[in-house]
A and B are shown apart, each in its own frame.
Chain A
Amino acid sequence: MSQTALFWPAFVQVLLTVFVMMMMGRARSASMKGRKQSLDDVALNRPTDWDDASTKASNNFKNQFELPVLFFAGIGIALALKLVDPVLVALAWVFVLARVLQTAIHLGPNKVGPRGLAYLVGAVALLALWVLLALRVASS
């Protein structure tokens, strides 16, 4: 299997992050215009009256710098050690697709139950990816 197959799910995760960033920018500028929020409060990240769409988008954006960071680290290690195999690639895709779903729920209906479930599926796939990586490294 081509080692670079593991790059593509990482690329989709990067695109997802950029997408959420753009949604956040759009939502925030609409919120600031509509609610006349103080630019000083926004500049210093002080508590300010963001509308729900802005809050959801920025919460989701912050999410993208938690588990996905462990995902990027795992992928970097797998590529550096040439450990890429179909199972790792499949787990990587499950993780990324679960993240896309989690974002869709978060920015859309924001139902906590389904959102948590999508998050959990991604987290378990990522944990499996790391466990597999650890087994490969330990046995090499």
Chain B
Amino acid sequence: MSPTLILFPVFVQIGLTFALLFWMGRSRVGSIKNGTVKMKDIALGQSAWPDRVTQIGNSFHSQFELPLMFYTLAALIIITRQLDIVLLVLAWLFVALRLAHVFVHTTTNWVPTRFNVFVAGAGVLLVMWVVFAARITLATV
């Protein structure tokens, strides 16, 4: 199995991050233009954005937490050429759960559901790291 297949879920996660970035930017500019917030109230990073804009921004920022461990693992998989079907399926599952997390975060933002989806993604990522650790340990023996 070509190790670069791990990059396709990575590309989706990157695409998700950029989609949130542009969405956040558009909604922020929108709330400045329609006068909901003033430039001076946000220039120093204050939390003055309307709820909806805050939700999108929070979801964007959460893409720089767990996903970083996902990118790191993807790079390690490519370098060590240790990709298999289990890791690939788990990688797609992780990204699917991140998409679901963004969906909850930017719509109902119902915390119990958001939390469950987050924990499921974190669990999948942890399993990926454990599987990878086992693979490289066995491969070097």
B21: chain A residues at CB < 8 Å are: 67, 123
Partner of A69, one of B25, B44, B68: B68
A70/B43 contact (C-beta < 8 A), A65-B64, A77-B7, A116-B25 known: no
From 3 to 60 in chain B, residues with beta carbon under 8 angstroms from any chain A beta carbon are 4, 7, 10-11, 14, 17-18, 21-22, 25, 29, 32, 39, 42-45
Number of interface residues of A (CB under 8 A): 25
Give the distance to chain B from A5, nearest Cβ to Cβ, in Å. Answer: 19
Whether B61 sits at the interface, judged by CB under 8 Å, is yes
Which residues of B approach A to under 8 Å, CB–CB?
4, 7, 10-11, 14, 17-18, 21-22, 25, 29, 32, 39, 42-45, 61, 64, 68, 71-72, 74-75, 78-79
Residues on A close to B: CB < 8 A? 52, 55-56, 59, 65-67, 69-70, 73, 76-77, 80-81, 110, 112-113, 116, 120, 123, 127, 130, 134, 137, 140
